[in-house]
Structure formats: structure tokens, C-alpha cells
Amino acid sequence: MQDLWPWLAVAGAGALHGMNPASGWVFAAALACHDKRRAIPALIPIAIGHMASLGLVAAAVVYGLPMNRVVLAIAIGLLLVLGGIHCIGRKTLPMMAAPASQAGLALWSLVVSTAHGTGLMLVPAFVPLCMTGSPAGQITASGSLLLASAAAGVHMAAMLITTGVLAIQGRKGVHVAATLWRKYRHYWPAP
């Protein structure tokens, strides 16, 4: 059972990330409101952005690069300002346009998952899995790299399942609210 705890921690962190509205399920639900078939394909760019964030953190850890939170915050802030400038320059208001493009979803997922420390959150769970002396390290001859990839896959699967379920349920909630609004709007006291 002790060998299972790091795997459960990785899956639990993935499910937790999937529940976070900033992780993208809100955007997937918004896309599904236009066409219900768009919810699940919206998970692909979310996964790409999330995996890119994990890859950045993994590369930083492997190469021993320091994690300077101030530089990271400034870089992410600049990305958000550039996104705002892009929205201001449009002829249509952002709320009147489609919720997000595939590239926009991937960039959003990358920025948000990097900003809140997706990869850093997994480092304590990766360490017991990747130690070569542990029973988990004996599963393969190649050792840590394959195990770290498997752990990232478990994390990603848990996140995507949770995100997909919430996106579909969020879409249903929006439709219920719209139906109730149409049915009972004449009872609303505001003009």
C-alpha cells in the first residue's frame, strides 16, 4: 500500500487541477454551449498547455535551473497584458466572440498551470517514484524517466477526466439556467 501513495497523490493532484475553474473546464463548457460536441475536443489544447507546463518545470529541475517567482510573475503578467491589448484591438467585443480558439485554450492552460505551479506541485510525488532504490524504480530497466512519464500520464488522465466531466455538467447547468430564465423571467422585478 505504501508504494501506491505517490501514485494516488499524483492522480489526486490531477483531479484537483481538473476541478479548478481556471484550468479550462469553464472554457470547454462555454464551447459546448454553442455545440455539445465541442466539449471533449476542447480538452486537447488544455492537455497540450498543461503538459507544456509540466515539461518546462521538469526541464528546469533536470538542468538545475533556479525558479525565480518574480521573473515568472513578470513574464506571465506580460502575456496577460499582450492578451488584453489583442482583445482591445478587436472590432467585436470579446464577450460577443467565440469563447476561445484552440491556440488560445492551449496558451491559457500553459499560462495558468505554470502560474499556479502545476509541475512544482508534483515534484514531491515524483521524488519517491523516481528513486532508483524504491520498488517503483524496479519496474523498468530504464528507471526514472519512464516512471516520471507514467506519473505525468496518470496526473494528466485524472485532470482530463475531471475537466471533461465538469465541462459537460457545466454545459447542462447553463442550459437549465437559460430554461429557467425563459420560463420565469416575467417574475423578475428588474426591467
User: How many domains, in total, are found in the chain?
Assistant: 1
pLDDT at position 139, please? 44
Q: Can you give the pLDDT of all 191 residues of the chain as single tens digits? A: 677 887 888 898 889 888 888 777 888 887 777 777 778 888 899 899 888 887 887 777 667 777 677 777 788 788 778 877 877 766 655 444 555 678 888 888 888 877 776 666 666 655 555 554 544 444 444 456 677 778 888 988 999 999 888 888 887 777 777 777 677 766 655 54
DSSP-assigned letters across all residues of 1-63 = -TTTHHHHHHHHHHHHHHH-GGGTHHHHHHHHHH-GGGTTTTHHHHHHHHHHHHHHHHHHHHT
Q: Which domain holds residue 129?
A: 5-187
| Rounded Cα–Cα distance for residues 177 and 183 (Å) | 10
pLDDT at position 188, please? 58
